[in-house]
């Protein structure tokens, strides 16, 4: 018990740092949780080195690298196949809008109606027939669930307008 009590700060740095790194795997981007976790892990490794020597510090370093590696692997698998792949944050159908713009062909989405799936402020994503597309609005900010019509395209973004309630679409 005395060993745990005397090294409680070191243990907390390892556990909390590992938890923050794992949490970062499921939070888009690299932010506060990941940086804080890495800092805590570095502090724990340095404390291990100063208290127990180089050997245990190297073992701790390899343990941290293993945790980070497994976390990156799980994050990648989740982005490709798991819940994260179904997230509105993952760009999936952007290539279709880009290909239509690059090929000079008529836009297959023109005058089609869809639903906003991420808030458009002014850019975000809409869904038409199950396809998630990059879009932007020159009008007001649009909230998730708003019905919209594609009126054009600029670059890789579809240009949309909200459908007005009670009016027939033009």
Last residue of a domain, one of 65, 86, 107: 86
Q: Is residue 147 within 8 Å of residue 125, measured between CB atoms?
A: no
Same domain, 30 and 100: no
State the pLDDT at residue 16.
92
How far apart are alpha carbons 157 and 91 in whole angstroms? Answer: 12
Reported as type and span, the H/E element at residue 115 is: strand 113-116
Note down the domain range covering 62.
2-86
Dump the DSSP string for 73-94. Answer: HHHHHHHHHSGGGGSTTS--SH
**pLDDT of 35 higher than 70:** yes
Same domain, 153 and 100: yes
State the pTM of this model: 0.45
How far apart are alpha carbons 113 and 71 in whole angstroms? Answer: 40
**pLDDT of 99 higher than 50:** no
């Amino acid at each position: 018990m005395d060993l745990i009590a005397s090294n409680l700060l070191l243990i907390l740095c390892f556990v909390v740092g590992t938890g923050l790194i794992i949490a970062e795997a499921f939070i888009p981007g690299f932010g506060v949780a990941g940086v804080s976790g890495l800092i805590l892990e570095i502090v724990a490794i340095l404390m291990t080195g100063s208290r127990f020597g180089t050997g245990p510090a190297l073992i701790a370093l390899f343990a941290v690298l293993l945790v980070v590696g497994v976390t990156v692997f799980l994050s990648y698998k989740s982005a490709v196949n798991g819940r994260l792949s179904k997230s509105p944050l993952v760009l999936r159908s952007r290539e279709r809008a880009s290909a239509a713009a690059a090929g000079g062909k008529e836009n297959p989405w023109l005058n089609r109606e869809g639903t906003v799936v991420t808030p458009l402020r002014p850019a975000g994503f809409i869904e038409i027939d199950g396809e998630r597309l990059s879009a932007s609005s020159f009008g007001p900010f649009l909230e998730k669930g708003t019905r919209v019509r594609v009126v054009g395209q600029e670059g890789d973004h579809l240009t949309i307008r909200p459908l007005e309630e009670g009016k027939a679409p033009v």
